Amino acid sequence: MTESFGFTAPADQADRDRILTDLNTTLLVEAGAGSGKTTSLVGRLLALIESGVSVSQIAAITFTNKAADEMKERFRLALEKAYRRSSDASLVRERLSEALGNLDLIFIGTIHSFCGSLLRERPIEAGLDPSFVEMDEVSDKQFRSSCWDDYMAELDEEARLQFEELLSLRVDVNTLRDVFDRVSLFTDVELPCEERERPNFDRIRETLLPLLDAAAPFIPTVEPEKGWDTVQKLVRQTHQKMRYIDLSDDMRILEIAKEFDRKLDVTLNRWTSKEHAGEMKKLFPDWQINVLFPFLQEWREYMYPKLIRFVRPVLDHYKTRRYAAGKLNFQDLLMEEKKRESMKEKDVG
């Protein structure tokens, strides 16, 4: 049985009391910062001990190590206080005394350290080095960086060709590194990698260039007192760029298109004709919605599988290096524990 409720101070005492007394029901408590969630949780842990539950059967999961340390200390203090006020020779006092003597058996920590403790109980069955160590975010980031550098320094022929293709498509090394870092955080997600058709760049050429030509005659030759508006700036910059770039080069068209991926403001009184400025105020956003945004979305979909295909081998290299060194990051701990539970279920079945 699972129920959910939220604290609505000051009329929440019944909910607070229930946390301490309804020990056979799984409760989801939602409350703001400083409302007493930790106090209530510590109280529930204490109530479990007083009801006869052994500390070795209790696990309290926190988000951070700092929160875990705080909860451990508060739980210890609550136990000591309860022990001092308990009646001599009572069953509750006996239970509290036993808990105090075995505090090291309770688990209070993060989900990652919890998974690590379970895996250490059966490392061989999980296919892990019994002496594996857990990497925190900082050490994992450093290790991941080292693996990336090593891989990029020794690209095989296939990877080198992929890399050169990505460079020709205006993907720089830093972008690739960002993709690798991002994907490495979600190794439990199956990433689709199907080829997508390259978008038609003529859609931009055939619609944006005429739009620029239609706007240019109504932009003043002298900068307005309050400066050029966004569309005026872009039209002027793009016309200047068009003088020296090859418009048949799709990548140069892509550069221009991306410049227009922003809010296109038109200030009527900064144009030589308010009537034509009003037209531009409508035409540019319409062009964005009907041409630019769909085109850029298609471009991202076209690039996505190429990026994923390049970083997949780096992810494999990164994982192989981790396991060979007996190092597990947070994601490994979760995935290995999930695998362990799955194998356990099969054995039971």
Kindly state the average pLDDT of the residues 81-87.
88
105 or 4: which carries more pLDDT confidence?
105
**For residue range 267-297, what is the model confidence (pLDDT) as tens digits?**
999 999 999 999 999 999 999 999 999 999 9
**For residue range 176-193, what is the model confidence (pLDDT) as tens digits?**
999 999 998 887 778 888
303: nearest Cα among 206, 177, 165: 165
Q: Which two three-digit tokens encode residue 139?
A: 């050490």
Report yes or no: 114 and 59 within 8 Å, Cβ to Cβ.
Answer: yes
- Predicted local distance difference test score (pLDDT) of residue 327: 84
- d(C-alpha 335, C-alpha 329), whole Å: 10
The top-scoring range by mean pLDDT among 1-5, 24-28, 263-267 is 263-267
310 or 62: which carries more pLDDT confidence?
310
Strands 26-30 and 2-6: parallel
Measured torsion, CA atoms of residues 327, 332, 337, 343, in degrees rounded to the nearest 10 = -100
**Residue with the two structure tokens 């009391």:** 17
Grade residue 7 by pLDDT with cuts at 50, 70 and 90. low
**For residue range 298-310, what is the model confidence (pLDDT) as tens digits?**
999 999 999 999 9
Grade residue 349 by pLDDT with cuts at 50, 70 and 90. low
Report yes or no: 283 and 147 within 8 Å, Cβ to Cβ.
Answer: no
Phi, psi of 227 (to 5 degrees): 90, 165
Q: Can you state the angle between helices 137-153 and 293-324, rounded to 10 degrees?
A: 100
Which residues pair with residue 110 across a beta bridge? 62
**For residue range 239-274, what is the model confidence (pLDDT) as tens digits?**
999 999 999 999 999 999 999 999 999 999 999 999
Side chain identity at residue 178, one-letter code: D
3-state secondary structure of 20: helix
Which residues 6+ apart lie within 8 Å of 306 measured at CB? 162, 165, 166, 169
Grade residue 10 by pLDDT with cuts at 50, 70 and 90. low
Which residues 6+ apart lie within 8 Å of 53 measured at CB? none
- Predicted local distance difference test score (pLDDT) of residue 337: 74
Which residues 6+ apart lie within 8 Å of 330 measured at CB? 112, 134, 135, 137, 140
Which domains, from first to last, does the chain contain? 2-121 (3.40.50.300), 135-327 (no CATH)
Q: Alpha-carbon torsion 77, 78, 83, 85, what sign? A: positive
- Predicted local distance difference test score (pLDDT) of residue 179: 95
**Residue with the two structure tokens 């050490």:** 139
- d(C-alpha 239, C-alpha 81), whole Å: 78
Long-range contacts of 248-256 (CB under 8 A, 24+ apart): 250/201, 251/168, 251/169, 251/170, 253/201, 253/204, 253/205, 254/170, 254/201, 254/299, 255/170, 256/204, 256/208
Residues in the chain: 349
DSSP3 helix / strand / coil % (the chain, rounded to 5): 65, 5, 30
- d(C-alpha 63, C-alpha 41), whole Å: 14
**For residue range 160-181, what is the model confidence (pLDDT) as tens digits?**
999 999 999 999 999 999 999 9
Total-model pTM:
0.69
Grade residue 9 by pLDDT with cuts at 50, 70 and 90. low
> Residue 89: is its pLDDT beyond 80?
no
- d(C-alpha 128, C-alpha 266), whole Å: 62
Report yes or no: 121 and 337 within 8 Å, Cβ to Cβ.
Answer: no
